[in-house]
Amino acid sequence: MQLLSTICLLSIIPLLIGQQIGFGVDVSRAIMRREIRKHIIEVVGNKTSAPATMPYDIEFGGEGHKDDEENNAEKDLMRPELVKSEQCKGNVCTDCSHRSQCWHGFENDKLQVNVQAGVTTEFAVEIWSRCAKNGDFSIWSELISNGIVAIYKDSGLVKEVAKATGDRESDTVLIPIIGGRTFRLRIAFRPGRDASSKAEAQIEAKLKNADPYTDKCMGVKDCLKVFGDKSDAGFEMRNSNKVQLRCLQGKMLLTWALRAKCRQWLICLPSTEKAKLKTFLSASLVKRGGKRGGKRGWKRGGSRRPHSRSLGLGMVEGSKLVTHVDSTCFDPASEDPEAWDCECLQGMIDKCGGLDEECIKGLMCDNGKVCLTWKQQQCSSAQINAHQTALLARRVHAITKISDNLGDALRGKCSQ
């Protein structure tokens, strides 16, 4: 009864307002629909003590952070700050923190990258499904000029797109989230062979039918909204782990804009999240002995892996064979700290019995999925040797399997 009476009242008020101040009927109806929808969610939510289940589409693009309601039932959330940008040259990948040179939000809901002639760097964005419990990732390549867009799920190539046909239905790649399984979505742009021409790509990447928890987990807790204001300073701080750490440590930043953005972020961040992020970034970036680590390489799909010294059998960690053996590795120095904070970091803190930087670094050093190149700068000799031994064992197993398959194939041919 309360809900019905409220709807009746809300249906009249916007029309009266429209008549008084000269709004058109369409504007009045739009106000009415928005207010009714808002109140229904509030009333029903209070009566059932359950969160609203209205599905969202989270757009990982657009010029800035905003909410866009459509058709009185769907809400598009523009969240360009939720993606982490990187740049890779050869087998070495680093943070990409300058807006004009990296993938960045564009127009209403797109991501764009512009590459100058002669540049051979690969540019990529990464999105974790860690916070998403359901929905489908949807990637549509709207424009590709002199390059290739490659879409990866974890280290596995899903699709390469060399030409945008303009047909949204046939060109869209859908990657469902099944059973809340965590994976990493990576979208990379590789400039083409024509080094004399510029390269460009525009894509639309979204998570369809996400629940409200996803947006909160991905961005609200760590105040990523602060970085979604279209500013160069916001983009740089979002995509540079070193800048974030300096901000959390209270150290001087290079520009006034960065200092202002740092203050805004720190005011927004709860004290518990500040402590978590500072501990994680210190454990990831600060070498034993107090020196901060330099640039490192890490695998980002396919055979693009960091090289290390040979570990026997005539192979290095960057070989194609290892792609099958050691399907993914992570470099904590350049991982998205806010994505880790969503779920993974708390588990590490619990294992350590609190915020213990050395303990968290130790867990990273013991983790077989953390890149050897990071461990060689951050971990003990025993932990590095353990990683090398485990990697060598996986390689021997892979070689044996390949040899068996080849033998079977040859026997099959000879028997024909």
Strand pairing report for 122-128 and 156-161: unpaired
Q: What is the DSSP letter of 165?
A: -
Question: Could you say which architecture CATH assigns to the domain 56-213?
Answer: Sandwich (2.60)
pLDDT at 331: 82
Q: What is the DSSP string of 345-394?
A: HHHHHHHHTS--HHHHHHHHHH-TTB-HHHHHHHS-HHHHHHHHHHHHHH
- Please return the burial class of 93, using the count of CB atoms within 10 Å of its CB with bins 0-12, 13-18 and 19+: buried
Query: Residue 58's closest CA among 184, 219, 237?
Result: 219
In 250-330, alpha helices (H): 256-268, 271-285, 320-325
**Residue 317 to residues 93, 268, 313, 328: CA-CA distances in angstroms?**
15, 41, 11, 11
With a CB cutoff of 8 Å and minimum separation 6, the contacts of 211 are 53, 55, 56, 133, 134, 135
Q: Which residues pair with 147 in a beta bridge?
A: 191
**Residue 303 to residues 185, 336, 349: CA-CA distances in angstroms?**
16, 21, 33
User: Which stretch of DSSP H or E encloses residue 234?
Assistant: helix 232-239
Q: Are 203 and 111 in contact (CB under 8 A)?
A: yes
User: Which stretch of DSSP H or E encloses residue 398?
Assistant: helix 381-414
Residue with tokens 């150290």: 251
Model-level pTM greater than 0.75? Answer: no
pLDDT at 170: 87
With a CB cutoff of 8 Å and minimum separation 6, the contacts of 261 are 226, 227, 231, 233, 234, 237
pLDDT in tens, the chain (416 residues): 444 444 444 444 444 444 444 444 444 444 544 554 444 334 334 433 334 456 789 999 998 898 876 654 567 888 999 899 999 887 678 889 898 889 999 988 999 999 999 998 999 999 887 777 788 999 999 999 999 999 999 878 999 999 999 899 889 999 998 877 778 899 999 999 888 899 999 999 999 988 777 777 776 667 889 999 989 999 999 999 999 999 999 999 989 999 999 999 999 999 999 999 999 999 999 876 555 544 443 343 333 333 332 222 222 333 333 333 334 577 888 888 877 766 678 888 999 999 999 999 999 998 888 888 889 888 988 888 888 887 777 666 555 554 455 444 444 434 44
pLDDT at 332: 86
